[in-house]
Amino acid sequence: MNRTEASIFRVVIALVTTLAGFSRIAPAQSPVTTGSLRHEVFVSSLADSYLRYLQTVGKVPEHPWSIRGFSERELNSMIPADSAHPWHDRFVDEAREYGSLWIGTIKPQASVRFNSGFAYGSNDGPIWAGRGLTSAVQAGFFANWKWISLTVAPIAFRAENSDFDIVSTGRTGAGAFANPDCGGVDVPQRFGNSSYSQIDPGETTLRVDLPYVTAGISTANQGWGPGQQFPILLGNNAAGFPHIFLGSSEPIDLWIMKLHGRVFWGELFQSDYSNVTGPSEYVSPAEPGTKRFATGLIVVIKPRGLTGLELGGSRFFHSIWPTSGIPRSYFTKVFQGLLKKNLKADPIEDPRLPTGSLSQGISDNQLVSIFARWVLPHSGFEIHTEYGRDDHSYDFRDLQQEPDHSRSYSIGARKVFNSSADRLTAARVEILNFQLPQLSRYRGEGEMYVHGLIRQGHTNKGQLLGADAGVGVGAGSVVAVDRFTKAGRWTATWTRIVRRENGDYTLVGIRNPRSIDVSHALGFERSAVMSDFEITTGLTLVREFNRDFKSDATNVNAIVSARYLIH
């Protein structure tokens, strides 16, 4: 056994011992401080998932889950007063009152992740976990004064980023670590050849919530659509980006339906390892600029008479950043037509640009999705689905003939099997498919999160804004079981990810047994309160077949985190 293997062995043994120890922890005989999660219901967080389960058993009122994060006004209407669930104490408001001002803490949390073979991890915001140890800390506070609320929750991390095999890009310097696929979408294989660290503003938001209307400025993650593990447009896989937003503060009752929506405008950033170099603004298709303007719109309706049903649609635009500044048309483009022939050109005046080179059809990348979620009242069951596109249809005939052009889709379900004052046991499943349809045999087919001119793709700071299931032609599935008790919780998961494909059987008729790079991961995570800390440990074994279309590879992923439960 060499030194590396010995280190891995010691980490695994330590984690197994800790997990075994937690399994012997008896429920507390006296009240313990569990640390409120009321103001930490961040996108796809544990608190978010738990409240979503409670909604399926009728303890959380009807409310759309496809537009997140939630405002203080929304949370006040959703947090159940019913104490007959195991985590009732974790949603008690611990804020302190100073006249009309309420102030509380985001509980400090520190974590250490370990990867034995290669970079692995997703849906953890700005954190990128390379090979070796990755440490992270997060803390902050929230404040609420009448209609104004402020959350400050920055996060800092450092990845040891030890060496592992990556695909050669044929470049030197920073370019050696870039993504060699899909036109070089900004998802680096590795963030350099030394330690990598960031300080990110994280889940920070300043907002005003009036009756019917909300507005604010934020760097927090947004959750669009019903997917938790595999959201198509926006989730918590990458760092949130600075944006301003405007929308409804709660679903507006129009009698025939309830309407809820949000629009935003913001800026996206690339990593230091992007294939896009040169000035920050657009110069030419060869130098599209490192800065991107982002805008998006999401609308959800709840039809009258169909309890638990929410239907919606969303669209997201990436646009170049002109040297002449952001034109006014950028702020209204999410309200323009869905078909290319109905789009208006942006009035961009830049003497360095060829005449007619910047119509909206080539300067933007539009992603759209439609989705549905149905919670069967008091059944403990919900089902959801989403269908996305990463391109416009030229006209209505094109849409009718080839609705599957540049498409993706997902389907998922959640079920609570047991719910009482002492425990809640539930399961969830999601399936996502980005793989090319049969249409690719007859037509040039675009790929998800990829664009010709805006070469960074659907990313921010080097990570995908949507599902981390492979760029372009990926796929993913997850099955998980969650059990919550007053003493803590455990989660067991199986995840399958198709990272990439390179088969050409339909062209040459030759079978390639290594044409699919696919991984399977089995994981177990447990948390429990010990004294003034909530300790979480997790262990995941990853087996990746045909990694980078070469040999199979194995990775052991481990995590230990501690959340300080401030009194």
The enclosing domain of 283 has a CATH number of 2.40.160.130
Looking at residues 273-288, what average pLDDT do you find? 84
CA distance 157 to 487: 29
Number of domains in the chain: 1
DSSP conformational letter for 21? H
Distance of CA 339 to the CA centre of its chain: 27
What is Dmax (Cα atoms) for the chain? 76
Distance spanning both ends of the chain, measured CA to CA? 46
CA distance 376 to 285: 50
Torsional class of 202: left (φ above 0), alpha (ψ -120 to 50), beta (otherwise) = left
Structure-model confidence comparison of residues 277 and 406, the more confident one: 277
**Sign of torsion over alpha carbons 47, 52, 56, 58:** positive
Q: What is the pLDDT of residue 33?
A: 56
Strand partners, 373: 310, 384
As a whole number, the mean pLDDT across the chain is: 86
Looking at residues 416-430, what average pLDDT do you find? 96
Lowest mean pLDDT among 240-254, 350-364, 451-465: 350-364
CA distance 363 to 452: 9
Give CA separation, 534 vs 170, 426, 522, in Å.
47, 21, 23
With residue 51 as reference, give the H or E element that holds it. helix 46-56
Looking at residues 297-324, what average pLDDT do you find? 94
- Res. 9: pLDDT tops 60: no
**Residue 443: pLDDT band by 50, 70, 90 thresholds?**
low
Cis? peptide before 308, omega within 30° of 0? no
**Sign of torsion over alpha carbons 40, 44, 50, 53:** positive
Which amino acid makes up residue 182? C
Q: Which residues contact 160 (CB under 8 A, 6 or more apart)?
A: 130, 131, 132, 133, 134, 195
Residue 115: give the domain boundaries. Answer: 3-564
